[in-house]
Amino acid sequence: MAAVTFDAVRKVYDNGRVAVAGASFEIASGELVVLVGPSGCGKSTLLRMIAGLEAISAGELSIAGRRVNDVAPRDRDIAMVFQSYALYPHMTVAENLSFGLRLAGAPRAEIDRRVADAARVLGLDALLARRPAELSGGQRQRVALGRALVRQPKVFLLDEPLSNLDAKLRAATRVEIARLHRQVGATMVYVTHDQVEAMTLGHRIVVMSDGVIQQIDTPLNLYARPANVFVAEFLGSPGMNLLRGQVDPDGTALVLDDGSRFVLGDAVPATAGERLVVGVRPEDLRLQALDGDASIEAVLDLAEPVGNETFLNLRFAGQALIARVPPGEVAAAGSALRLSYAPSRLHFFDAAGGGRRG
Ligand code: ADP
């Protein structure tokens, strides 16, 4: 087990592309941290720098207190699992699991013990004699995880390991990875573009956009207090609704560009006349009003019942809003609906920089 420390780590590719613009944070020993962000945001580059597969352009990277900028990948004591399983097709599961240890000249008894341990943890005992072609996608991914596990590395690096699996298998394997992490207590760094995967797996999540770390926190804190509009929209399915407008002269409502008013309550962290972005989570827009609620009238574009809940796609002041409501009968498309919300549940962001207010 080991901590991983980034100190102003930068990566500029030869073509001038700044993939990581100065990352500074620490992954604690035994922690499972998820790096998440849209495609191209630099998360794989950050992971590959830990692995030693990409040179670090500036700054310092340490594993277990040792600077590793110039340490070769094989000497970093890390194991990496990719989305392509890259198993040896002609070898059995047992041989795939033991290959790295055999190559390193580990004693036979030690190899057998570690392979048996990994097989037990991952439920592969009954599959040890099979070849990869005789396994399902989920089983192959478990073998790939097992191959990393037998090496007992200081740090596990996982690069979108579930993206080749179908939705059901992805959810099951996600639970397995979380369980595996609890059992072995290893430091794990997990890259995904899927915010649901990030929210369910990570102790802490590092949200990236365009090479820049936007926020690092626990899943619940990120959801409750996103640091900026990017994080607000990125996390949650669907993400936060954002309304742009100008605070009215008495400072208690947002006036949208078409003149519609959106009540903000009396604790608005902005001055009258200022431009502001106001966020409201889909589950905070309700069809039933409670004491102290404000409300808007919106037009229903489309209701999407998904069984346990219904998503209402609405139009308000010329822009799209989504409300997440309990299942039940809803009005026909085109109807006007009154949506209530508690002003205390609103989020406020700078119109210019997008940073959180209050
Ligand atoms: P992510 O994993 O978040 O999808 P990457 O870390 O792969 O993002 O890439 C970050 C940025 O760096 C992207 O703009 C990508 O096009 C660029 N990039 C990645 N690898 C290289 C490379 N070898 N040479 C030049 N640019 C690269």
Question: Does 84 have pLDDT greater than 80?
Answer: no
Closest of 260, 246, 264, 275 to residue 316, by C-alpha: 260
**Per the structure block, which two tokens stand in for 209?**
């956009």
Overall average pLDDT of the 64-75 stretch: 95
| 358 CA → ligand 1 middle, Å | 35
- Res 281: pLDDT: 98
How far from chain centre, in Å, is Cα 147? Answer: 25
Strand partners, 61: 6
Q: Would you give the end-to-end CA distance of the chain in angstroms?
A: 38
What is the C-alpha to C-alpha distance for residues 305 and 239, in angstroms, rounded to an integer?
A: 18
Q: How far is the CA of 210 from the centre of ligand 1 (A)?
A: 10
- Residue located nearest, by CA, to atom 24 of ligand 1: 13
Length of the chain: 358
Rounded to an integer, what distance in angstroms lies between the CA atom of residue 314 and that of residue 287? 12
1 pLDDT above the threshold of 70: no
Residues 309, 291: Cα–Cα separation, whole Å: 23
Do 207 and 40 form a contact (C-beta atoms < 8 A)?
no
Do residues 158 and 177 make contact, with C-beta atoms less than 8 angstroms apart? Answer: yes
278-291 pLDDT, tens digit per residue, is: 999 999 999 999 99
Q: How far is the CA of 57 from the centre of ligand 1 (A)?
A: 14
Q: By alpha-carbon position, which residue is closest to atom 5 of ligand 1?
A: 42
pLDDT at 232: 98
Task: Give the domains, in start order, of the chain with CATH numbers.
Answer: 4-233 (3.40.50.300), 238-357 (2.40.50.140)
Ligand 1, pocket-test mutation among 11, 17, 35, 163, most atoms within 8 A of CB? 17
- Do 315 and 260 meet the contact criterion of CB atoms below 8 Å apart? no
- Position 350 confidence tier, pLDDT thresholds 50, 70, 90: very high
Answer whether 192 contacts ligand 1 (Cβ < 6 A).
no
Q: Are strands 347-350 and 275-280 parallel, antiparallel or unpaired?
A: antiparallel
Residue to probe by mutation, ligand 1, list 45, 80, 190, most atoms within 8 Å of CB: 45
pLDDT digits (tens, 9 = 90+) for 119-171: 988 889 999 999 999 998 888 988 998 998 898 889 999 999 888 778 888 88
Note the pTM of the prediction, 2 decimals.
0.92
Backbone angles phi, psi at 228, to 5 degrees: -160, 175
Separation of alpha carbons 149 and 295, rounded Å: 54
Q: In the 3-class helix/strand/coil scheme, how is the chain assigned residue by residue?
A: CCCEEEEEEEEECCCCCEEEEEEEEEECCCCEEEEECCCCCCHHHHHHHHHCCCCCCEEEEEECCEECCCCCHHHCCEEEECCCCCCCCCCCHHHHHHHHHHHCCCCHHHHHHHHHHHHHHHCCHHHCCCCHHHCCHHHHHHHHHHHHHCCCCCEEEEECCCCCCCHHHHHHHHHHHHHHHHHHCCEEEEEECCHHHHHHHCCEEEEEECCEEEEEECHHHHHHCCCEHHHHHHCCCCCCEEEEEEECCCCCEEEECCCCEEECCCCCCCCCCCEEEEEECHHHCECCCCCCCEEEEEEEEEEEECCCCEEEEEEECCEEEEEEECCCCCCCCCCEEEEEECHHHCEEEECCCCEEEC
The pLDDT tens digits for 247-280 are: 999 999 999 999 999 999 988 999 999 999 999 9
Atom of ligand 1 nearest to the CA of 208: 3
For 100-107, what is the mean pLDDT?
Answer: 91
* Buried residues in 131-161 as b, exposed as e (16+ CB within 10 A): bbeebeebbbbbbbbbbbbbbebbbbbbbbb
How far is residue 259 CA from its own chain's centroid?
37
pLDDT, tens digit, 9 for 90 and up, residues 173-208: 888 888 889 888 889 999 999 999 999 998 999 999
Burial level of 112, CB count in 10 A (0-12/13-18/19+)?
Answer: middle
**Percentage of the chain surpassing pLDDT 70?**
100
Which residue CA neighbors atom 1 of ligand 1 most closely? 40
State the distance from the centre of ligand 1 to the C-alpha of 213, rounded, in angstroms. Answer: 15
Per the CB < 8 A criterion, the answer to whether 42 and 35 are in contact is: no
Instruction: Look at residue 338 and tell me whether its pLDDT is greater than 70.
Output: yes
Of 185, 187, 173, the C-alpha closest to 47 is: 187
Mean pLDDT lowest among 63-77, 176-190, 217-231, 276-290: 176-190
Residue 330: is its pLDDT beyond 90?
no
